[in-house]
Structure 1
Amino acid sequence: MVKGESTSDDVPNVDLSLVQGDPGFHLQRRLRLIPETGMGTARRAFIFAAVSWLPLAIWALVTGRAFSHGNPDDTLVAHFGIHARCLIAIPLMVVAEGVAQKLMPPLFRYFVESGIVTPETLPGFRDRLAAMARLRDRTLPWVVILAATMAWSTVGAVVERAEEMAWLNPGDDIGSITFGGWWFILVIRPLFTALLLVWLWRACLLFVLLCKLGRMPLALVPSHPDRVGGLSFVERLAFVFSPVAFAVSAVVAASFAHEVVYHGASAVQMKTLLVASAALISLVFLIPLLPLAVPLGALKRRAIFDYGSLVAHHDRLVHQRWILHRDIGTPDILDAPELGPVADIHAIYEAVRRMRSIPFSKLSIVAIVVPAAVPMLYVAAMQLPLSAVLGKVLKALV
């Protein structure tokens, strides 16, 4: 690990959590869902899944709606979207909180440890992290999330007559809604929607923070071998959103799978929808990393000229001494050990020229695209040879 000039005492003061400290965290701690130490991630994931799914499953068993009820489409087993929400998406979005809590603080400390944030810019760095923490802890965004959740979960469920609601509400009026219908309206859909909106809010928080950091005078190195000025560690933030991308994709894919299995839809015909859904989910959770493209792009444009001038000056002196046989004295640039011979200084310029203007590599893309694509691939594999599907995916990634 490359150390900057900051002391070890500076580093602990730049910790930042995307989760710990927000209103949702404090509420769960008051309810003793989150222990005094740690996040209790596994326990909370199990509790949320059980609370959302078990009562509906017990009701379906008692009323005979679990496995057979008139037609195979009218059963709990048949409605993949409910299982995807309760048993996959909701637990995974809770797990993502644990991932964020473990992954983010070391990454922000590394801004200081790597020297990208210098002792001179450290106070400004701390101020920006503190401002993001204050924004994270505000109550107003959570009030908006709660209002949006209530609106979508109630009005949307009744008006849209969603597939998950149709079998729970045999009539057309509210009075005919069964216990299972009310449980879906009041528990399952609100819990899933709230968690999803909270994660979209956290993605916005990260986007705003990286915008602010991108406007700082970061000590980036144009010739750094990671090809992003030394910022390659930032792309690991994408792994925070990996469980969320899979969760959202699983719910969307479950809806497609239900259409394929019970309504005769063709996975081949809906391939455009599958690809577009995976692409949209991937884009949403890759966007938070994009603000760093601004300083990287500016750095590359400036470095191309700076290093181009350096190489030109070096090569011009070499040409005058060895081709034109002129006495040019002993310029320091020709004897500088950090530059070396012509081939070495050309390699430095080539490293600058090959800089990426966006902080993405295969690692960050795989961290988001693969979780978003896997559920869609499962739907495609229902009617397409799995080997052909995997072959196309591997060909695209390699």
Structure 2
Amino acid sequence: MSRLQRALRSTRKTVLSAVVALGVAVGGLVALTAAPAAHADTQICDQYGSTTIQGRYVVQNNRWGTTATQCINVTSSGFQITQADGTATNGGPKSYPSVFYGCHYTNCSPGTNLPAQLSSISSAPTSVSFNYVGNAVYDAAYDIWLDPTAKKDGVNKTEIMVWYHQTSPVQPVGSKVGSANVAGRTWDVWTGNNGSNDVISFVSPSAISSWNFDVKAFANETISRGLAQSNWYLTSVQAGFEPWQNGAGLAVTSFSSSVNLGGSSTDGGTTNGGTSTGTTSGGTTGGSGSSGCKVTVTPQSWSGGFTANVTVANTGSSAVNGWKLGFTLPSGQTITSAWNATVSPSSGSVTATNLSYNAQIPAGGSQSFGFQGTTSGAYAAPTGFTLNGTACS
């Protein structure tokens, strides 16, 4: 059995469809060819063609369920399906055009620290924005892959799918087993096995066009349901579309993903004594003043961009119920996405506000959030932190 045949066989999920037979293929399929690093508006029509964006992520065409042409236009922030001929006839979708961070069939995104053991990951923030169309049969979903080993090739043991949107009659593999609140949202939960790997799917009851979350939240829920273990490895985080019919116009307009190990960000590049350019730098403490709060920023930067993981510690004697963290971004920095907090405006004097699930900071406890941004010069840490109006040390 060829490598491609093994990939196709390993990625099936069921669907009730007047268009296709039973069975729905999971998205994370083989990417056999890799193109040079992409510039904005790079066209890919090769069946398994891929390229990189932002020097951090891989975009793949990944057409496997049809012989008809599929083309994607790769931009600096994502991709759009520009041609989607044919209809799936083998029971699965036509393809899984997607953008990913990590390793997928030996194709690893630049500077990734995946695979990484789940127990070593403090957070794994990710975000995506989708554009949908009304004349296609498809789903829009994350594929998050877990395996007992640090696997960079082949099919992983467990696949987590986070479904932002799907059109009738598409549905996940297996059967619905209930619901769960994960990362502040309620999801329908489906579990099953496609013959080669376990699949757990978290399906949004209504369409989500843009959202950010921590991959660890879904990994922890998967562990609690017996479909993974904390000593397993996260190998890749992928977001894209599974089209059965049509699909031209579907787009990922933005994507971010990073993995923080042991409480500090270590994804991308090579660490050099805790500080580096285009790599991980050590945590910095911002602000001054009251001993009631302490803020630590752990950044990771590269040419033209950065992520920052922010930990807000309550050093006082009473709980904080509802928090707003104010701070000032250095000139030239602009926030493009955030997780675990609502952050606005995107530059200058900024306020991060808790979400519903992390509003309380107990005495002696902490909450964390983060953001990704662009910078016109070298990265510099934010300053002037205040928690609900009180200066932090």
- TM category (shorter chain) comes to under 0.3
**Higher RCO (CA < 8 A, seq sep 6+):** 1
The structure whose residues are more often helix, as a share, is 1
Structure possessing the higher radius of gyration over alpha carbons:
1
The structure whose residues are more often strand, as a share, is 2
